Amino acid sequence: MNFDLNIKDTFGKEFQFNNRQEIRSFLNLEKEYWLAKRKEIGKSLSGNFPAFPEQAEQFLAHFDLYEKAVLLEPQPDNLAQLKHNYEGAKTQFIQWCIQYWIYRGNAHTEALLDAYKYSNESGVAFWNAIKNHRVENNSQRFDSFAGIMMAYEFLFQNESFLNKRRYTEKRTFITLRNELEDERNKQISNFAEFNEEYSKWYKNLQGNINDWFKDCRERSDSTINNHSTFFNQMTEHAIERHTELENLYAEKLRLEKPAKYWEARAKQLKIQGVIWSVLLVVVLLIGIGYFTLLFKYWFTGQQISISLHSLQGAVLLTVIISTFIFSIRVLSRLVFSSFHLQRDAEERQQLAYVYLALSNETKVDEESRKIILQSLFSRAETGLLASESGPTMPAVDGITGLVSKINK
């Protein structure tokens, strides 16, 4: 929607604006000018024309409200009321400008303000002479006379030949200032057109971005769904694997202590076997040495304390020989039993590790598990007793068949 404004100052200077940027820029510059002059001149500046900033502010308040309502999407319900208020404020502002406003770029504006700087009465006299072409005779004060003389000089100074060059240059400056003002309005109008084109381009770009964002969101949702399905599958697999590892860890805890026990037991049995072997060698050496010495004396016919020809000597020799043979037999059985139990403990330890490895790679059924646990905790034959019986370790064929069955 286009905003236009046609205003005219009290001396007939007309201005036409076709967009809201031109209106706001021009009125703000005019406000700043009159506010600065009011501050500079002070209380001496009187009349209605210095009140331009307040009048412009009232108009711009309705102008801003109506502008915001027009640019909103969707437009508010009170748009018609805001437009009515704006049109009323616009008409009132135009009428006030025609009656009282003096454009800052007029040739006599600075001269009028200079008269007010001198005094309020000279300013009023200057205003009446310039605007109303009237001289007040009821005042005999010098300030009024000074204002009239200022007005006379301003109006008729071009008739003086001496001042002709100076005022010709002044008119030239006025022309240049008007041209500069026109150029400024033109640039503001071009900027307004550029702003409208930019707004259209921005809306189109925003629509394209929204379409692209919608497409990206759809593809993102599809990707997220695919990833969610994949992650769910991975989660299920991880849960199953976690359960398997928990079971394996439970089996490890269950078999870790027995494996360490069999390892320590194997080392202990190995030491016992070495001790019994050393004792067996010592007994053998002692017996061989004793019987060698005994037979040496017997073959040489030397007299010994124990005579083999007497009954007591024969019985005593028989007891010694029987004791030696029994000791050799007992020690040898202890040696073989220790090394046998050591080997059995090592096999049980390795069987526990094999069971844990198979449990990690494959699923072990309950029957295979019972066989392995029975093998781990079965009674081991020592070889010391002839009537030993009970669950024993499975043979090599049995263990091989069990491993093959688990691998299948």
Residue type, 219: R
In tens, the pLDDT along 187-198 reads: 777 777 777 788
Burial of 56 (0-12, 13-18, 19+ CB in 10 A): buried
pLDDT band at 162 (very low <50, low <70, confident <90, very high): very low
Angle (CA) 168 169 173, round 5°? 120
> Helix (H, G, I), strand (E, B), or coil: what is residue 74?
coil
What local confidence, expressed as pLDDT, does residue 26 receive? 87
Q: Are 139 and 121 in contact (CB under 8 A)?
A: yes
Tell me whether strands 5-8 and 14-17 are parallel, antiparallel or unpaired.
antiparallel
DSSP label at residue 363: P
Dist CA 116 CA 292 (whole Å) = 158
Asked if pLDDT for residue 283 goes beyond 70, the answer is: yes
Dist CA 124 CA 148 (whole Å) = 9
Residue type, 68: K
DSSP label at residue 47: S
Q: Are 23 and 188 in contact (CB under 8 A)?
A: no
What mean pLDDT, rounded, does the chain reach? 76
Asked if pLDDT for residue 166 goes beyond 80, the answer is: no
Report, as an integer, the average pLDDT of 240-260: 69
Angle (CA) 337 341 343, round 5°? 120
Report, as an integer, the average pLDDT of 200-204: 83
Burial of 173 (0-12, 13-18, 19+ CB in 10 A): exposed
Report, as an integer, the average pLDDT of 212-233: 84
CA 289 to chain centroid: 91
Report the share of the chain in percent with pLDDT over 70: 71
pLDDT band at 92 (very low <50, low <70, confident <90, very high): very high
Residue type, 322: S
What local confidence, expressed as pLDDT, does residue 168 receive? 46
Q: Which region among 274-278, 324-328, 403-407 has the lowest average model confidence (pLDDT)?
A: 403-407
Q: Which region among 10-19, 32-41, 96-105, 166-175 has the lowest average model confidence (pLDDT)?
A: 166-175
pTM: 0.43
Query: Omega before 76 cis (within 30°)?
Result: no
- b/e map 276-313, b = 16+ CB within 10 Å: bbeebeebeeebeeeeeeeeeeeeeeeeeeeeeeeeee
Phi-psi region of 38 (alpha: psi -120 to 50; beta: other; left: phi over 0): alpha
pLDDT band at 390 (very low <50, low <70, confident <90, very high): very low
Angle (CA) 221 227 231, round 5°? 140
Domain ranges of the chain: 5-216, 244-407
In tens, the pLDDT along 332-386 reads: 888 888 888 888 888 877 777 777 666 665 665 666 667 666 666 666 666 555 4
Report, as an integer, the average pLDDT of 167-196: 68
Burial of 170 (0-12, 13-18, 19+ CB in 10 A): middle
**Residue 11 or 177, more confident:** 11
Asked if pLDDT for residue 395 goes beyond 50, the answer is: no
Beta bridge partners of 6: 16
Beta bridge partners of 14: 8
What local confidence, expressed as pLDDT, does residue 91 receive? 92
The set of residues, in sequence order, having a beta carbon less than 8 Å from that of 123 and lying 6+ positions away, is 44, 45, 46, 47, 112, 113, 115, 116, 117, 147
Report, as an integer, the average pLDDT of 198-205: 83
pLDDT band at 391 (very low <50, low <70, confident <90, very high): very low
In tens, the pLDDT along 51-81 reads: 889 999 999 898 888 888 888 877 788 888 8
pLDDT band at 96 (very low <50, low <70, confident <90, very high): very high
Residue 58 in tokens: 């009232």
Report, as an integer, the average pLDDT of 283-300: 77
What local confidence, expressed as pLDDT, does residue 396 receive? 45
CA distances (Å), origin 182, targets 15, 34, 186, 200: 10, 20, 6, 27
pLDDT band at 165 (very low <50, low <70, confident <90, very high): very low
Asked if pLDDT for residue 184 goes beyond 70, the answer is: yes
In tens, the pLDDT along 100-157 reads: 888 888 877 888 788 888 787 787 777 777 777 677 655 567 777 777 777 777 777 6
Report the share of the chain in percent with pLDDT over 90: 3
- b/e map 191-229, b = 16+ CB within 10 Å: ebeeeeeeeeeeeeeeeeeeeeeeeeeeeeeeeeeeeee
Asked if pLDDT for residue 33 goes beyond 50, the answer is: yes
Residue 383 in tokens: 């070889």
Residue 303 in tokens: 């007299």
Asked if pLDDT for residue 175 goes beyond 70, the answer is: no
pLDDT band at 218 (very low <50, low <70, confident <90, very high): confident
